[in-house]
A and B are shown apart, each in its own frame.
Chain A
Amino acid sequence: MRTLFKNGRILDPSQDLDVVGSVIVEDSQIAEVGPDIDEGDVDEVYDCTGFWITPGLVDMHTHLREPGEERRETIKSGTQAAAAGGFTTICCMPNTTPPLDNAALVDFILDKAAAPEAGGVFVAPVGALTVGNNGEVISDLAALKKAGIVAASDEDYPIQNSRVMLRAMEFALQLDLPLMLHCDDRNLSAGGSMNDGATSAMLGLRGIPRSSEVTMIMRNCELALNTGCRIHIMRVSTWGGVEAIRQFKYLGAPVTCEIAPHHFVFTDEAVGEFDPNFKTTPPLRTQVDIDILVQALNDGTIDCIASDHSPHPSHLVDVPFEEAPFGSVGLETTVGAALTFLTHRNFLSPLETIRKLSTRPASILRLEAGTLKPGDTPVAQVTVIDPEIEWTVDRNKTFSHSRNNSWHGVRLKGKPLLTFCGGEIYRDAKFDASRFVAC
């Protein structure tokens, strides 16, 4: 079986490749990539003229909610949404019910993700850093790593006790396991539901100050510098946070970080009249933050773009703002948002955009993904993106179980139209039928 992705703009950051050409997949493996390849006899052809051909995208930060929160999302629905969003590898967060703090649950997730009815993407679980997410007792990280976690995280339960965090980093360093950290000083953010600023003051909502993020980023970076443990700061939202990360990178701390699209697009004013679809953690900040975050994406201080896909059912969202849960779905809008607000505005080149959506997250977590090099991934992972197509986000047109969507009604330019992971796992209706030929 030979599949040809023909005549697209190949963007493979792992090889610094940006060239018009074709990709051949043979027996589920990448066989050839480049401008002048010998097509030979092929069984099927995707005409990618005008499109980008990229390594399968990698989302470091997804909430699949299963086990325990299946009304929000399941491994099946979440992986389908991921495929539709152009992702071939996703990392699922451990704040499930129960939390992902033991090896049996890792097996459960991997089994479910590999089931034929699932979305066909690779799921790389992230383990709970402490038992039951209690913030005190460190999980059996060696057992979890053996079971298949690619990192451990305190997602949603940021570790407050610095001594616990220090110990966690020492264990993780020994296991060569990166930590993905949620940086939030809960004494400063307690009771808050949006950014502490002029809008929160006007609406009478308790604010979450930037300091609650910045101080914890600084602490965690300092401990990483001190121990040598690799840490990844999840969804940085503040100008101060990104400046701290820049400084600690300069000092040689093994730190990386990600940003979620809503943090480089929306400000706290988007909350408007108490719209819980714009209640995120960390909260939406201000234009000053966005300007510096975008600059940091451009100069590489921010390594990756991650969806922070956080589904919630409508009955939990249609409540007073303060009572609503934090988060928005995002798997199916991440690429469109990145292209619309970064690439098309010349803040990121197409190659750097794909680096932040694929190659870099794969390298941070040492995943066999994020490249079109033959033999470097277990199966071929390819995403085809139409960078010019314009579309309007409709919260009801989704594979996710949930509709809490900050992007509803937003006009985006750019969309993944084809996702290939070993075989075709998603083809968008907007991928013209005439572009596919089975020979």
Chain B
Amino acid sequence: MSRCVLAVRHMEAGLLQSLVYRAAELKAVVEKDGPQSQKRPRVVGLLFFENSTRTRVSFEQAAFYLGHKCVNFSAAGSSVSKGETLKDTILTLKHERLEAMVVRHSASGACALAAKYFGGPVVNAGDGQHEHPTQALGDALTILERKGTLTGLKVAIVGDVMHSRVARSNAWLLSKLGNEVRFVGPRTLIPGHTSMLPGQVHYDLRAGIADADVVMCLRLQKERMADGMISSVAEFVRMYQVNRSSIRAAKPDAIVMHPGPLNRGIELDDHIADGAQSGVTQQVTNGVFVRMAALEWVFQEDAS
């Protein structure tokens, strides 16, 4: 069975930790020596059934630094737009001898299904509202760099938890490594039943981020307003924006994170987004190195 990175909730703490630490090593190596070369480069398919720029570029960079080759596949302009099923797309690419797949899909669980048909290594680059493991790994590396530890921290995840794969992956990863996780947001955007998610729920921002070491904001999708899940942007800002005033509830040295793309002035104000506490650009940088670590790890099984 090939190695896959499908969901943090199925991964062991030891593996998660080793991937983060390996990413830190790879970061040092790349910054010193630049891209590696492989005796036998692999071909990695980037299957993006859902639009993404930053995650795709990040995986391309990761593959490049490792000395592997990427093949891009996006749903628009492909056989998918002609009605091909996920199964047939995967089987086709498998027989075109792709050696690993990075899959993003709008449906929760789609990457696990892709892994079933592919049979080789699959890395989940975001499946619906389920998980986004490499985002969580990158965020963990950022926390490690900024806080010097990956355990014993208080982490508040703020905003649209219900629809966020980033929230789920981060919550699993950080709780598995021994951090306190809190979900903070309006009742309409926090799942009604969280007993199978690793975090405590707070509906009040200041109570939720009180004494926090890390405040992770989530992107607020525009369609939530159409769904009536928030009454207005102004109301959301009033109640849940992390800004120079509300951040005072957290620890003075708390870092503020956001997976992007930012809605400036909604989830965060400029003061925070561009200020010393912000980890946003570092998150983006680290995304490349954790994806290197993930690709390296999934290919190791093949070698053994």
Binding site for B on A (CB under 8 A): 196-207, 209, 273-274, 315, 318-323
Any A CB within 8 A of the CB of B265: no
Q: Which 7 A-B pairs have the closest CB atoms?
A: A274-B109, A320-B107, A204-B129, A201-B191, A204-B130, A198-B196, A198-B193
- For chain B, residues 165 to 214, give those with C-beta under 8 angstroms from any C-beta of chain A: 165, 168, 191-197
A410 CB → nearest B CB, Å: 22
A-B contact pairs, 7 of them (CB 8 A): A196-B192, A201-B191, A206-B129, A320-B108, A320-B110, A321-B109, A322-B109
Residue of A nearest to B163 (CB): A204
Residue of A nearest to B110 (CB): A320
A113 CB → nearest B CB, Å: 33
B194 CB → nearest A CB, Å: 6
Binding site for A on B (CB under 8 A): 9, 85-87, 105, 107-110, 112-113, 127-131, 162, 165, 168, 191-197
- Residues on A with C-beta less than 8 A from B127 are 204
Is the Cβ of B85 less than 8 Å from the Cβ of A319?
yes
Complex Cα–Cα for A202 and B85 (A): 26
- Give the contacting residue for B87; candidates A202, A207, A209, A319; CB below 8 A: A319
Complex Cα–Cα for A138 and B272 (A): 59
B176 CB → nearest A CB, Å: 14
Is the Cβ of A274 less than 8 Å from the Cβ of B9?
no
Q: Please give 18 more A-B residue pairs, beta carbons under 8 A apart, in addition to A198-B195, A207-B192.
A: A196-B193, A197-B192, A198-B194, A198-B197, A200-B191, A200-B193, A201-B196, A204-B108, A204-B127, A205-B129, A206-B129, A207-B191, A274-B109, A274-B112, A274-B113, A319-B86, A320-B105, A320-B107
- Give the contacting residue for A315; candidates B85, B112, B130, B193; CB below 8 A: B85
Complex Cα–Cα for A200 and B127 (A): 14
Residue of A nearest to B193 (CB): A198
Which interface residue of A196, A203, A319, A322 has the most chain B CB atoms within 10 A? A203
- Give the contacting residue for B165; candidates A198, A204, A318, A319; CB below 8 A: A204
Is the Cβ of A320 less than 8 Å from the Cβ of B86?
yes
Is the Cβ of A202 less than 8 Å from the Cβ of B197?
yes
Complex Cα–Cα for A199 and B109 (A): 13
B165 CB → nearest A CB, Å: 6
Is the Cβ of A203 less than 8 Å from the Cβ of B108?
yes
A310 CB → nearest B CB, Å: 20
Complex Cα–Cα for A321 and B106 (A): 11
Which interface residue of B9, B168, B196 has the most chain A CB atoms within 10 A? B196
Residue of A nearest to B167 (CB): A204
B136 CB → nearest A CB, Å: 14
Is the Cβ of A201 less than 8 Å from the Cβ of B197?
yes
- Residues on B with C-beta less than 8 A from A206 are 129
A304 CB → nearest B CB, Å: 31
Q: A274-B112, A320-B105, A320-B109 are in contact. Are A201 and B86 (CB under 8 A)?
A: no
Residue of B nearest to A271 (CB): B109
- Residues on A with C-beta less than 8 A from B130 are 203-205
- Residues on A with C-beta less than 8 A from B162 are 201
Q: A197-B193, A198-B195, A201-B191 are in contact. Are A273 and B85 (CB under 8 A)?
A: no
Residue of A nearest to B107 (CB): A320
- Residues on A with C-beta less than 8 A from B112 are 273-274
Complex Cα–Cα for A196 and B87 (A): 28
- Residues on A with C-beta less than 8 A from B128 are 204-205, 320, 322
Q: A198-B195, A204-B165 are in contact. Are A273 and B9 (CB under 8 A)?
A: no
B232 CB → nearest A CB, Å: 21
Residue of B nearest to A206 (CB): B129
- Residues on B with C-beta less than 8 A from A197 are 192-193
- Residues on B with C-beta less than 8 A from A315 are 85, 87
Which interface residue of A200, A320, A323 has the most chain B CB atoms within 10 A? A320
Complex Cα–Cα for A199 and B191 (A): 10
Complex Cα–Cα for A321 and B105 (A): 12
Which interface residue of B113, B162, B192, B193 has the most chain A CB atoms within 10 A? B193
B129 CB → nearest A CB, Å: 3
- Residues on A with C-beta less than 8 A from B193 are 196-198, 200-201
Complex Cα–Cα for A205 and B162 (A): 9
- Residues on B with C-beta less than 8 A from A205 are 108-109, 128-130
Q: A319-B86, A319-B87, A320-B113 are in contact. Are A202 and B196 (CB under 8 A)?
A: yes
B75 CB → nearest A CB, Å: 13
B60 CB → nearest A CB, Å: 25
Complex Cα–Cα for A318 and B87 (A): 8
Is the Cβ of A202 less than 8 Å from the Cβ of B109?
no
A282 CB → nearest B CB, Å: 17
B259 CB → nearest A CB, Å: 15
Is the Cβ of B194 less than 8 Å from the Cβ of A204?
no
